[in-house]
């Protein structure tokens, strides 16, 4: 049923639950997991400015550390797990990556790091659910 699962993460508790679900589903269906972290560059202005570039580089490093932890968990559970860090709008990057890897499923946290209202789906998750051309599981 599932061969490739995409799991975008931002390190939030909800994203961590999404990683748990993605790995569980992958284990059950012998699927591969691709984790991704996207630095939202539109929040920081022109990256040509040196201080902005430093912030973006730091965010990429943080994302790479999160993804290494996901890959390690996958390896510990015998699940093929790859990852990438990218820049841009997370919902656009997730759609591009899902197409690139031909993901059968996208698993995403219900709310991300910057979400403050607990009774509503986060903006990134909402955009992915609304625009994805494949099944999306929100956790």
Percent of the chain with pLDDT over 90: 74
User: Residue 49 has what pLDDT?
Assistant: 58
User: Tokens 């939202």 sit at which residue?
Assistant: 40
Rounded to an integer, the average pLDDT of 112-121 is: 65
Contact by Cβ (8 Å): 37, 63: yes
pTM summary value: 0.89
* pLDDT tens per residue across span 35-47: 999 998 876 655 5
Rounded to an integer, the average pLDDT of 57-68 is: 94
Does residue 114 surpass a pLDDT of 70?
A: no
Percent of the chain with pLDDT over 70: 88
Instruction: Count CB-CB contacts under 10 A for residue 116.
Output: 7
The SS3 assignment for 31 reads: coil
Both tokens of 10, joined, read: 């931002």
Q: C-alpha distances in angstroms, 63 versus 2, 12, 41, 111?
A: 26, 12, 13, 17
Domain 4-138 of CATH type 3.40.50.620: yes
User: Residue 51 has what pLDDT?
Assistant: 76
Give the residue, 111 or 4, on which the prediction is more confident: 4
Does residue 83 surpass a pLDDT of 70?
A: yes
Rounded to an integer, the average pLDDT of 17-43 is: 94
User: Residue 41 has what pLDDT?
Assistant: 80
Phi, psi of 126 (to 5 degrees): -60, -45
């Amino acid at each position: 049923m599932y061969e490739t699962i995409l799991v975008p993460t931002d390190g939030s508790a909800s994203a961590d639950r999404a990683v748990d679900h993605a790995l569980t589903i992958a284990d059950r269906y012998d699927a591969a997991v691709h984790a991704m972290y996207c630095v939202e560059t539109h929040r920081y202005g022109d990256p040509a400015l040196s201080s902005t570039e430093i912030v973006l580089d730091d965010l990429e490093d943080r994302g790479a550390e999160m993804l290494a932890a996901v890959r390690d968990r996958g390896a510990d559970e015998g699940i093929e797990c790859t990852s990438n860090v990218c820049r841009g709008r997370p919902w656009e990057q997730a759609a591009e990556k899902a197409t690139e890897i031909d993901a059968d499923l996208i698993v995403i946290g219900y709310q991300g790091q910057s979400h403050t209202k607990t009774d509503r789906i986060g903006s990134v998750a909402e955009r992915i659910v609304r625009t994805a051309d494949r099944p999306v599981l929100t956790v």
